[in-house]
């Protein structure tokens, strides 16, 4: 999974704290996606972003979760006031701009979030 | 009915066997189909990416898409212990074109015994 960089790899938070997960896409990629993988569950889509724009956030919980992909710097997934149920692996994927042929998504190695 | 169904296994085979992994789906509008491999504690790694029906081969891996049956398959020839992983099928939402959120199967856990 060289290319898509996520940090931190592991994050521990207490209930009520904030969690910030970062994702730097592959070089030349301008589309970023966030997915969540709960234990014994498949990967579930959360949000799709391009630089400074949220394209599709249909998978994001309505409260406490937000995402951004600023003009400069990594994409950030932010979870406020974390609860035990937020414990999961969060994966970021990126793909090339539209019009550049096949555009499969390539994934990072994820951030494993644990809530105490 | 779930959009994408995949038998979770586990599937255990001897080294050198041919492995067949499958997914079914319900939405006939899906057009882009992918297979990912995920090792423990790692992210999904793209194996195959296909558009519409047909076959695609890459080394020991062959992907098949049968849109009339809403059925996709991944075949692994001459399986190796290093192929032991979870295999995920995925499809792009119909309105996404070639971009858009992926809908994943739950994954099939494969173990190849030496």
B105 close to B112: Cβ distance less than 8 angstroms? no
SS (H, E, C) chain B: CCCEEECCCCEEEECCCCEEEEEEECCCCCCEEEEEEECCCCCCEEEEEEECCEEEEECCEEEEEECCCCEEEEEECCCCHHHCEEEEEEEECHHHCCCCCEEECCCEEEEEEC
In tens digits, chain A (116 residues) has pLDDT values of 459 999 999 999 999 999 999 999 999 888 999 999 987 788 999 999 998 999 999 999 999 999 999 999 999 999 999 999 999 999 999 988 776 556 789 999 999 999 99
Is B5 within 8 Å of chain A by CB? no
CB contact under 8 A, A35 and B102: yes
Which one of B35, B88, B100 makes the best mutation probe of the A interface by having the most chain A beta carbons within 10 Å?
Answer: B100
| Chain A residues in contact with B36 (beta carbon < 8 A) | 107
Nearest CA-CA distance, residue B69 and chain A, Å: 23
Q: pLDDT by residue for chain B (114 residues), tens digit each?
A: 678 999 888 999 999 999 999 999 998 888 889 999 999 999 999 999 988 788 999 999 999 999 999 999 999 999 999 999 999 999 987 666 667 789 999 999 999 999
Instruction: Give the minimum alpha-carbon distance from A85 to chain B in angstroms, rounded to a whole number.
Output: 19
Give, as one character, the DSSP assignment of residue A85: G
Closest CA–CA distance from residue A101 to any residue of chain B (Å): 9
Express each pLDDT in A19-32 by its tens digit.
999 999 999 888 99
Chain B residue with minimal CA distance to A100? B98
CB-CB neighbors (< 8 A) of B47 in chain A: none
Average pLDDT value over all residues in chain A: 92
pLDDT over 90 for what percent of chain A? 77
């Amino acid at each position: 999974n060289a290319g898509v960089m996520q940090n931190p790899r592991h994050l521990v938070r207490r209930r009520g704290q904030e969690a910030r997960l970062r994702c730097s896409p592959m070089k030349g990629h301008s589309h970023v996606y966030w997915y969540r993988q709960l234990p014994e569950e498949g990967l579930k889509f959360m949000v799709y972003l391009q630089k400074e724009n949220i394209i599709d956030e249909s998978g994001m919980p309505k409260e406490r979760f937000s995402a951004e992909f600023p003009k400069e710097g990594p994409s950030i997934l932010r979870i406020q006031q974390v609860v035990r149920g937020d414990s999961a692996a969060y994966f970021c994927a990126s793909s090339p701009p539209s019009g550049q042929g096949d555009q499969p998504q390539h994934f990072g190695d994820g951030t494993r979030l644990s809530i105490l | 009915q779930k959009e994408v169904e995949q038998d979770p296994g586990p599937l255990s085979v001897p080294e050198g066997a041919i492995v067949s992994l499958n997914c079914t789906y319900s939405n006939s509008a899906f057009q882009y189909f992918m297979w990912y491999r995920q090792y423990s504690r790692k992210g999904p790694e793209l194996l195959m990416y296909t558009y519409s029906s047909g076959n695609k081969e890459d080394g020991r891996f062959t992907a098949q898409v049968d849109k009339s049956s809403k059925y996709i398959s991944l075949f692994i020839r001459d399986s190796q212990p290093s192929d032991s992983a979870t295999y995920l099928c995925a499809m792009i939402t119909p309105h996404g074109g070639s971009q858009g959120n992926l809908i994943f199967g739950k994954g099939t856990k494969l173990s190849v015994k030496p």
